[in-house]
Amino acid sequence: MKLLIDSLQLGFLYGVLALGIYISFRILAVPDLTTEGSFAFGLSVSAAVTSLGHPLLALPAAMLAGAAAGAVTGFLQTRWKIHPILSGIITMSGLYSVNLSVLGGSPNLTLVRANTVFKMVPFLSKNDAKTVLPVVFALAALAAVIWFFHTHIGMCIRAVGDNEDMVRASSIHTGFCKVIAFCVSNGLIALSGALVAQYQGYADISSSTGILVVGLASVIIGEALFGRRSVTLGFISSVAGSLIYRYIIALATRYSPLPAHMLRLVSAVIVALALALPALREHVETARLRKGGGQDA
């Protein structure tokens, strides 16, 4: 039972991360490595502000921090024309130092004595709040992104990811659209980090290592179940994918002989296999055609 509840909580917390990843990975069609930095940025800012006694303020502060990180990547990519992957790597590397200084020069910060949003919900115990709040935040974020990507600006961003040449030839500023998209994406990723910090009661800078793969796994698992039909469905399936991912991980740690530190490797393999699926399918198809062709001739 505890395992089920824990996975549900984590699934929704990291569901917010999955929404951010969906924006960069599927809508802009760029895997954005800023994620690794902006998740930790959200984590650190949230922990720092919370330890100063403002757990609520910590959340918008973390989102702003993440959005700023996204803006830097967007700027490097669109204005300075640096390769998309490299732009993310540059921002991510720079953020490492920023995060350390936000945490006061140490790689971790405990919030054991601090007040967190999970202790502030009226009528709910801390444990209940740990279930209710992630659901509320994830659903609110879900509603917000679905709305945003159906507004005019959201539509422009989707078009940039879909057919950039066309958008460049229309009067829409492609660079501006991309920067906005990176801001929204990394803002969400940082919010996810911010919630995780308060949920765990500590911030550890290394917890963001490999977080991009976690997000990608959620998005891909979601797509495997729901297909790729519309953005609305894409966002919903990303959150659902995050939940399923957590259950897979929970089962893997409980029943498999693998030690917990092998988890990221398992995630990496899941993502690699899922991404390889189209190529594998083609391979099988070719092999079948060859066989069939031989019979007819």
Partner 1 sequence: MLEIRNAVKVFEKGTPVEHTALNHLNLSLQDGEFVTVIGSNGAGKTTLFNAVCGTFLLNAGRIFLDGQDITYMPEHKRASMIGRVFQDPMKGTAPNMTIEENLSLAHSRSTARALSIAPGKKELGLFRDRLAEFNMGLENRMKTKVGLLSGGQRQAVTLLMCTIVPPKLLLLDEHTAALDPATAEKVMEITRSTVENYHLTTMMITHNITQALTTGTRTIMMDEGDILFDMSGTERERTSVDDLMRMYSVSRHKELDNDRMLLEK
CB 108 within 8 A of CB 204: yes
Q: Which is nearer to partner 1, 88 or 161 (CB)?
A: 161
CB of 164 to partner 1, least distance (A): 10
Q: Which is nearer to partner 1, 156 or 216 (CB)?
A: 156
Q: Which residues make Cβ contacts (< 8 Å) with residue 185, sequence separation at least 6?
A: 20, 21, 23, 24, 28, 32, 70
Q: Give the interface segment with partner 1, choosing from 47-55, 66-74, 91-99, 162-170 (CB under 8 A).
A: 162-170
Instruction: Compare residues 176 and 247 and give the one whose CB is closer to partner 1.
Output: 176
**143 touching partner 1, by CB under 8 A:** no
- From the list 39, 22, 23, the residue with the least C-alpha distance to 91 is 39
**Interacting residues of 195 by C-beta distance below 8 A, sequence separation 6+:** 13, 16, 46, 59, 117, 133, 134, 137
Nearer to partner 1, 29 or 136 (CB): 29
* 47, 212 Cβ separation under 8 angstroms: no
Considering the rule CB under 8 A, would residue 155 count as an interface residue with partner 1?
yes
Nearest-CA neighbor of 131 among 9, 2, 4? 9
As a whole number of angstroms, the distance between CA 67 and CA 164 comes to 23
Helix ranges restricted to H, 211-262:
211-226, 231-255
**Does the protein bind partner 1 through residue 79 (CB under 8 A)?**
no
Packing angle of the helix pair 126-148, 2-22 (nearest 10 deg): 20
When the beta carbons of 92 and 145 are compared against partner 1, the nearer one is 145
Q: Residue 14 or 25: which CB sits closer to partner 1?
A: 25
State the Cα–Cα distance between residues 228 and 230, nearest whole angstrom.
Answer: 6
- Nearest approach in angstroms of CB 138 to partner 1 is 22
User: Which residue of 93, 125, 127, 151 would you call a contact of partner 1, by CB under 8 A?
Assistant: 151
Please tell me whether residue 162 binds partner 1 under the rule CB under 8 A. yes
How near is the Cβ of 293 to partner 1 at its closest, in Å?
30
**Residue 130 in the binding site for partner 1 (CB under 8 A):** no
Rounded CA separation 115/126 (Å): 11
**Nearest approach, Cβ of 161 to partner 1 (angstroms)?**
8
φ/ψ region of 81 (left if φ > 0, alpha if ψ in -120 to 50, else beta) reads: left
CB closer to partner 1 out of 155 and 250: 155
Would you count residue 158 as binding partner 1 (CB under 8 A)? Answer: yes
What string marks each residue from 163 to 192 as x (binds partner 1 by CB under 8 A) or -?
A: x-xxxxxxxxxx------------------
Q: For residues 214 and 245, what is the distance between their CA atoms, to the nearest angstrom?
A: 8
Looking at 51-59, 118-126, 150-158, 276-284, which segment touches partner 1 (CB under 8 A)? 150-158
The smaller minimum CB distance to partner 1, of residues 158 and 178, is found at 158
Q: Which residues lie near partner 1 (CB under 8 A)? A: 147, 150-153, 155-156, 158-159, 162-163, 165-174
